[in-house]
Amino acid sequence: MIGYVAYRHRNATLWAFAAAYLAVEGAVFAASWVLKDVPKEDFRWTLTTVIWMGTYLGGAVHLFILAKRVLPQKTPPTPTVPRPRPGPATPSRAPKTWIGPYLLLSKIGQGAQGQVYLARSPAGGQVAIKLLHARVSPAERTGFLAEANAARRVPGFATAQVIDVGIDNARPYLVSEYVQGPSLEQLIHREGPRSPDSMVRLAIATAAALNGIHQAGIVHRDFKPANVLLAPDGPRVIDFGIARAVERLTNTGGAKGTPAFMSPEQVEGRLAGPASDIFSWGATMYFAATGRLAFDGPSVWAVENQVLNADPDLSMMPAPFRDLVRRAMQKDQRVRPAASDLLLLLSR
């Protein structure tokens, strides 16, 4: 099991532990074979048994600790803290819930990284708050805030602009403008593939958003249809800059994206750069144009194997997009176009 965790998270330290446990178990098995004709009262049998039990118990404890770090944990309820307000006290039917200075209005989403709430800002406007599951220790606070604040440098064109970041009761949160509208994933499931004209607008807006994100020195790392919101004034990309900040709070070998939209280098556990977002952009455009996943299978392993070794069938895509998506989804990240190149190619 420890070897499995090491494989899933590409963690060399866990590989070393798994090999050590296996070596000790192998040595104990060999010793029991050598001692098969020795009386059970011999001290060597006692020593062998103690080593075997110690290794077994040590491995079980190690696996228990890993499970708490790797498996999803139940999210503790958001603390309800009444905040004092000026003026005479008035009776209240229920205490109000706050995150930092933001008053929560309703829960509007739930994901692997955290929960999303509609909230009211101190100025009275509506904002979206993502409250992360991970908790921040005092030593991690400065690093997390520095990473998360980098997202505020991204221009607001075609993105949901990040307004604020903070930590409430050791849980980090990010505040962005509230975008009314379904995600691209929801829209495709409800209405089917986009028309060629809609695809042009979608492709240009999302490529422009990625260009702004990359120009700010950020890699999205989880670009997918669920992170593209279709507002009345056009598509908006969300959740950029979160993956790197969350990575600072975990010890599982780095943040990974959604398998069907991950780049080959992400699947292999290598460093994700701007070219990884371009691959994910191509997979997202494929989904928008066809209503199907570019890489699909009965398990995560099957999907990841396709990402590494198979090419999607582009014959179902509108002709103007086939070559562009093919170039974006090259296995070699060095030959993929940059986001600025996508904009030039789309404007021809």
Active site residue 37: no
3-state secondary structure of 120: strand
> What is the rounded CA–CA span in Å between residue 300 and residue 258?
10
**Residue 200 neighbours by CB under 8 Å, 6+ apart:** 320, 346
Q: What angle separates helix 274-290 from helix 196-215, to the nearest 10 degrees?
A: 170
CB of 188 closer than 8 Å to CB of 225: yes
Query: Distance of CA 96 to CAs 37, 83, 103, 177, Å?
Result: 74, 8, 7, 21
Q: Quick one: which of 232, 229, 233, 234 has its CA closest to 200?
A: 234
Kindly compute the dihedral angle of the four CA atoms of residues 215, 216, 217, 220, in this order, to the nearest 10 degrees. -90
DSSP string for 243-282 = HHHHHTT--SSS----GGG--HHHHTTPPP-HHHHHHHHH
Q: Quick one: which of 72, 276, 240, 256 has its CA closest to 147?
A: 240
> What is the rounded CA–CA span in Å between residue 73 and residue 54?
28
Residue type, 1: M
Catalytic residue from among 168, 222, 239, 277: 222
> What is the rounded CA–CA span in Å between residue 233 and residue 158?
9
Query: Distance of CA 269 to CAs 217, 262, 264, 311, 338, Å?
Result: 21, 11, 9, 20, 21
Catalytic residue numbers read 222
